[in-house]
Amino acid sequence: MSAHVQTAPFDLAAELRGFGKGAGAVVTFSGVVRDDTGQMTGLEIEHYPGMTERILNDYGQQAASRFKLTDWRILHRHGRLAVGEQIMMVATAARHRRAAFDSADYLMDWLKSRAPFWKRELSADGGGTWVDARDSDETSLKRW
């Protein structure tokens, strides 16, 4: 049961070793840098040191109590990431699949719109464009 923020890449399999031992269901989600325009070289992710770690822990604990999780893990990177690199992962473990799926979905909705990260798309000419928040992410969060 932990949340981490780091610049270094991570190995999903290594992160999940020993995770959720004894659970009946484990769900993992990982977000990957994608390029929809063909013009992007990567992402730069800024965050709020101190607040980020605390708030990710809060969301993890809220999910654990609401969905009766037996284990959870959140890992989110910041700094410069190339297209195709993993940005973050969420893993949840519960007795049954519904709680594991729903809690991963719940955590992703909170991370998308209520965790202090800001993405900037980097282009080949060295410029960057801040990514706008999506209305659909806000709508998605209201489900909970």
- Please tell me whether residue 80 binds other proteins under the rule CB under 8 A: no
Helix axes 97-114, 51-67, angle to 10 degrees: 150
Q: Count CB neighbours of 75 within 10 A.
A: 20
- Please tell me whether residue 66 binds other proteins under the rule CB under 8 A: no
Query: Strands 25-32 and 71-77, how do they pair?
Result: unpaired
Residues sharing a CB contact under 8 Å with residue 71, sequence separation 6 or more, in sequence order: 1, 19, 20, 21, 23, 91, 92, 93
Among positions 114, 123, 139, 144, the unique one binding other proteins when judged by CB under 8 A: 114
Q: To the nearest whole angstrom, how small is the minimum distance from the Cβ of residue 137 to other proteins?
A: 8
- Please tell me whether residue 106 binds other proteins under the rule CB under 8 A: no
Q: What sign for the dihedral angle of Cα 119, 120, 123, 125?
A: negative
Q: Which of these ranges, 20-28, 33-41, 63-71, 124-132, lies near other proteins under the rule CB under 8 A?
A: 124-132
- Please tell me whether residue 54 binds other proteins under the rule CB under 8 A: yes
- Which residues of the chain form contacts with other proteins (CB under 8 A)? 31, 46, 48, 50-51, 54-55, 76, 87-88, 108, 111-120, 130-133
